[in-house]
Structure 1
Amino acid sequence: MTELPVGWTEVTLGEVADSVKNGIFVSRPGVEPNGVPVLRISAVRPGTLQLDDVRYSAMSEEDLAASDSLLAPGDLLFTRYNGNADYVGACALVPPIAAALTYPDKLIRVRVDARVADPAFVLYAFQSPLVRARVRRVVRTTAGQSGISGASLRVIRIPLPPLVEQKRVIAALEGSLAPWGSGLSQLLRSTRRISRFRDQVMLLAGVGGLGSAEPRELAEPPEWAGVHDGELPSIPDTWQWKRLDEIAEVVGGVTKDSKRQSDPGFVEVPYLRVANVQRARLDLSEVAHIKVSPKKADQLRLEPGDVLLNEGGDRDKLGRGWVWEGQLPNCIHQNHVFRARIKGDVLHPKLLAWHANGFGRRWFEVNGLQSVNLASISLGKMKKFPVPIPPRPEQDRLVQVAEEYLSLLDSMESAVSSAREKATRLRASLLTEAFAGRLVPQDPDDEPASELLARIRAEREAVAPKQKARATRTRKQLAAPPTRVTGDNYQQEALPL
């Protein structure tokens, strides 16, 4: 246990909680307002709660109230499951709400006894590095899904000062974190602007809109090919439209066959998955390996200049991709990643990739298919993607201009990212000081937290027998036969059952 100031103690969350309760299971929650709103798990982020991130339950408000599943101001919500372990145990405070609201079984509600702890103090405690480290130690990960149980949450220990000092700590944190939050919001807005500028640069780079004074026209569109091209952008009159399969060999990748991974005739090679192929970059921090036949390894071996485009994933990620530059020897690609190998020297690979990430973003959404959880686009439709082709002598200049813009945006993004990291460290340092008792002064006249806990515990124990007796009487009354009143003396007699 860490050394604490005089008057402080350490308690488990269960010791300061009136209740710790999982949310409701909602079968096929609706997307239209037809019932009580149910928060999504994504509504809870460290320290924040998005009240508009909801679906709807068919359960009535009366049923939810009877099962004690409605939220109240001051309740704390913890994430119970998440694919990212850093978000498990994330805590948010329920603000004043005007209407009935409930929560799903992937969240845990903790109702704090306000006589012992201020919910806002507990909220900040679970954002502090000290308590977050304790949460991580009890998080369990299975099959890529991380989680924490209500029982594990109950036993996590937090520092607890006297109640009046908790109020002082909250006030000090709110005073310091308000400008911090404003600054971080500005940094986040800058990050989003940079991302939008990058998308715009890629869009313009693909259609000749960067620094070009050439006349622009709605050039002759490519021939109808059974896809929805929508409104094609205008391009310089020296350019022309082509379908992707006219300028590139487009193929799918390897499908993993777990039954044949032990085949002695197979060779092991690295292969790229959807997670490796990001928008305008490749993430090679984790590259998986697969065993395939030597013939398949030769057929799918990537070459510098190949453009990789995603076949599946979330709908807004269809067709995202980038250029392979030969970073790994003998690397191939999985079936959810298409490879476009440009024929001859007809188009610079980066112009194709930027066009796919720019104009193609909407085109792939329109032409893709949506299943229950994932979207995909077929190889046949990918081959019909419309591509503008500039005269070859212009292409190197276009790439140079686009890279100058993108390099500037990369520098800006790096500076903003560095500032965000510093802001995060500053916040963590502030919370560390707060929960070590160094943020506000202690007052010897404050009732020590340990004494307050002992007094509240005694009050609970005194009330418990009375509550038990009342519950027993209620059960007996419900079990007794009905009675009727007779005569002037109002004597009761049992009615036959």
Structure 2
Amino acid sequence: MSESGDVDGERDLPAGWVWSTLEDLLACEPRAITDGPFGSNLKSAHYTDSGARVLRLQNIGDGQFRDERAYINLAHFESLRAHEAAEGDLLLASLGETLPRVAILPKLDEPAIVKADVIRARLHPAVVTKWVYYALRAPQTQVRTSALIKGVGRPRLGLAAMRSIPVPVPPLAEQWRIVEMLEEQLSRLDAAVVSVEASSRRVRGLRAAALSAALESVGDSPVRRLADVLKEPLRNGHSAKATTDPGGIRTLNLTAVTQGDFSDENTKLTVADPHRVRDLWLTRGDILVQRSNTPDLVGTAAMYAGDNGWAIFPDLLIRVRVCEGVLPEYATLVLQSRDGRSYFKSRAKGLAGSMPKIDQSAIENFRIPVPSLDAQKRVVAEVQEQFDRVSRLSAELDRARKRSDGLRRALLRTAFNGCLVPQDSKDEPAPRLLARIAAERAAQPKPKRARKTAAKPPAQRVADVTAPEPTTAPALAVQQEFEL
């Protein structure tokens, strides 16, 4: 590729740099880049409790390797050696909302292969792996790669497209200088993010503590079953197919209750029959409880505070309407308390592999302290005051998190514009480096193609195909050790 040029509005590359592709930077060995096996080569029956690791999409985080474990037996691993991954290899997700998504494989205690939708790339030892790793994460790469992505509902970057991802290549010495500077600055950002996340956990704890303290003040009040303070029977919602018809029925999704955010963003239009859902329109003060979700979220409750008749609720939510002697705001707080969350988690049931569920009886049998209306109002006011303070803290932490993300993108953008570290005219220009790699690749003997033979009669046909010999990982001594 050319040494300079304006790609998607980006500045020309600095002197000594050159545009390349991921394929140009691969090791000079067979199957330097490969995707995982598909179809019958890797089925659920092959998985075991130990053996060789199977690297899946969930192992590739946003720039980091996630130690999610799955195994196949070692005998089957031997038949799939062509898909083997080793320490220092790049792992790229070919499926997902953000592409390319990349991680560097750390040292594992077991051999490993990649699965379908994961691509393993082994780079030439004369290229700094971490440089390519950071280049694939840079905002410029995300923009350029977007044109290679196929599919709408399931965005995909196939093996051929992955090979053609453009990568800016500086001189080798400059690659090392930039990586060193990136590591130093990103480590500071990572430390700041760890601090922000720790603060976020403490803030969530403050919210729960404030609620528990307020409810303790009414601990000696009469306790009643929720069924005894209902204005009307509990009601499950109704789910229907989504539609783009503006005349469709607006329906909440579970996220509205999980986040307590009843906005357009957490709704969809559906083809629900208006007559069938005529009694499901929400009114202000309705309490909604999730009857099915993950173990941590099942039973989550939130109070609807929007306009009457704005939306209906889906089948996975149960509507609670309390009588005049109980404030819906107060009842919601009791349902959201630590005791409430523990109660619903203990009552949730489900089959293996399915989301746990609660039924209406679990909600009806929930016990709620019922003080006077004045006491309920006092609890609601106290908790709201504390929640407002916690919300302000959360907003500050969110802003800090967004600033960190923005700084990370700016740092990567600057690095791949050639503006992060000084250049040295004594460095060997990158085109010479790529020329040597290309010459080495051209000198490699071409793999011999198997001669086609006439098909044997069915009775004599070979049942299995011998697996290819394992490939040898390139020396990585010149590259920095990647640490999680």
Q: TM-score, with normalisation over the residues of structure 1?
A: 0.79
- Match for residue 84 of structure 2? 70
Q: Which has the higher contact order (CA 8 A, sep 6+)?
A: 2
- The amino acid of 2:85's aligned partner reads L
Matched, 1:56 2:71: yes
Quote the residue 2:230 is aligned against: 247
**1:279 touches 1:321 (CA, 8 Å); kept in 2?**
no
Q: 2:317 aligns with which of 314, 323, 337?
A: 337
| Residues 196, 71 of structure 1: alpha-carbon distance in 2 compared, 3 angstrom cutoff | farther
- Which residue number corresponds to residue 286 of structure 2? 306
Aligned in 2, Cα 1:43/1:241: closer, same or farther, shift over 3 Å?
Answer: farther
* Inter-CA distance 309–6: structure 2 relative to 1 (3 Å threshold): same
Q: Work out whether residues 36 and 60 of structure 1, in 8 Å CA contact, stay in contact via their aligned partners in 2.
A: no
How far residue 409 of structure 1 moved from its aligned partner, in angstroms, is 0.8
Q: Following the alignment from structure 2 to structure 1, what is the Cα–Cα distance between the partners of residues 143 and 281?
A: 44
Counterparts of 1:191-202 in structure 2, within 5 Å, are 191-202=200-211
The alpha-carbon deviation at position 268 of structure 1 amounts to 4.0
SS state at 2:404 partner: helix
Task: Go from structure 1 to structure 2 and tell me whether the alpha carbon gap of 1:446 and 1:258 turns closer, same or farther (over 3 Å shift).
Answer: closer
**Is contact 2:238–2:277 with CA below 8 Å preserved after alignment?**
no
Asked whether 1:441 is paired with 2:452, we answer no
Q: Is the 8 A contact 1:242 1:389 kept in 2?
A: no
Structure with a larger share of its residues in strand: 1
Q: How does 1:367-406 map to 2 (within 5 A)?
A: 367-371=347-351, 372-406=353-387
1:402-460 alpha-carbon deviations (Å, 9 max, x no partner): 11111111000101111111111112111111101111122222222112212221121
Give distance in 2, aligned partners of 1:402 and 1:428: 38
Q: Which residue number in structure 1 is paired with residue 143 of structure 2?
A: 133
Residues 14-53 of structure 1 aligned to structure 2 (within 5 Å):
14-18=23-27, 19-24=32-37, 26-28=42-44, 33-51=49-67, 53=68
Structure number, greater radius of gyration: 1
Residue 91 of structure 1 is matched in structure 2 by 102
For 2:57, the aligned partner's letter is I
**Secondary structure in 2 matching 1:342:** coil
Match of residue 487 from structure 1: none
Contact persistence 1:187–1:416 (CA under 8 A): yes
Q: Deviations over 1:284-309 (max 9, x none)?
A: 42421234444434311211100011
Q: 1: CA distance between counterparts of 2:195 and 2:102?
A: 23
SS of residue in 1 equivalent to 2:177 = helix
1:280, distance to aligned residue in structure 2 (A) = 4.0
Q: Deviations over 1:26-68 (max 9, x none)?
A: 53389984222334422321221123x212223447516x523
1:177 match:
186
1:204 and 1:90 mapped to 2: Cα distance? Answer: 44
CA deviations 1:133-162 (Å, max 9, x no partner) are 22333333444x333212211111011111
State the alpha-carbon separation in 2 of the partners of residues 236 and 286 from structure 1: 36
Name the aligned partner's letter for residue 180 of structure 1: L
- CA gap of 1:279–1:347, structure 2 versus 1, over 3 A, is farther
Amino acid of the residue matched to residue 78 of structure 2? D
Displacement after TM superposition at 1:282 (Å): 3.3
Deviations 1:299-345 (A, max 9, x none): 112111000111222222212131111246442111111110112x2
Matched length: 432
Give the secondary-structure state (helix, strand or coil) at the position aligned to 1:332: coil
Deviations 1:154-211 (CA, angstroms, capped at 9, x unpaired): 1110111111211111111111111121111111211222223323444555xx13xx
| 2:427 counterpart SS class | coil
1:367 shift after superposition: 1.8
Secondary structure of the corresponding residue to residue 375 of structure 1? coil
Mapped to 2, the partners of 1:445 and 1:257 lie a distance apart of 65
Q: How far apart are the structure 2 equivalents of 1:308 and 1:198?
A: 20
- Residue 197 of structure 2 corresponds to residue 188 of structure 1: yes
SS of structure 2 residue aligned to 1:387: strand
Q: CA RMSD in A?
A: 2.8
Q: Which AA in structure 1 matches 2:70?
A: R
Call closer, same or farther: CA 1:248–1:172 in 2, change over 3 Å: same
Are the equivalent residues in 1 in contact too, given 2:239–2:272 (CA < 8 A)?
no
Amino acid at match of 2:15: V
Q: 1:157 to 1:293 in 2, by over 3 A?
A: closer
Q: Which residue of 2 aligns with 1:492?
A: none
Q: How far apart in 2 are the matches of 1:252 and 1:97?
A: 48
- Please, which runs of 5 or more residues in structure 2 have no aligned partner? 7-11, 454-484
Question: Which secondary structure does the structure 2 equivalent of 1:400 belong to?
Answer: helix
Equivalent position SS for 2:288 = strand
CA distance in 2, matches of 1:41, 1:403: 41
Amino acid in the other structure paired with 1:38: V
Distance in 2 between the 1:393 and 1:125 partners?
61
Sequence identity of aligned pairs in percent?
25
Q: Is the 8 A contact 1:24 1:69 kept in 2?
A: yes
CA distance in 2, matches of 1:89, 1:96: 22
Q: SS of 1:455's equivalent?
A: helix
Q: Is the 8 A contact 1:321 1:356 kept in 2?
A: yes
Q: Among 264, 284, 288, which residue is 2:268 paired with?
A: 288
Q: Which residue of 1 aligns with 2:466?
A: none
* Aligned position for 1:155: 164
Which sits farther off after the overlay, 35-44 or 311-320?
A: 35-44
Alpha carbons of structure 1 residues 355 and 464: separation in structure 2 relative to 1, 3 Å = farther
State how far apart, in whole Å, the 1-side matches of 2:78 and 2:115 are.
Answer: 15
Partner SS for 2:122: strand
Unmatched 5+ stretches in structure 1:
213-234, 476-497
Aligned partners of 2:282 and 2:132: how far apart in 1?
53
Q: Is the 8 A contact 1:128 1:435 kept in 2?
A: yes
Q: Give 1:4's aligned amino acid.
A: L
Output the CA distance in 2 between the equivalents of 1:139 and 1:418: 31
Give 3-state SS (helix, strand or coil) of 1:376's partner: coil
Separation (CA, whole Å) in 1 of partners of 2:384 and 2:314: 29
Which residue pairs with 1:106 in the alignment? 117
Cα distance per residue 1:223-250 (max 9 Å; x no partner)? xxxxxxxxxxxx6222313234643531
CA distance in structure 1 between the partners assigned to 2:26 and 2:17 by the alignment: 18
Shift in Å, 1:131: 0.6
1:488 is matched with which residue? Answer: none
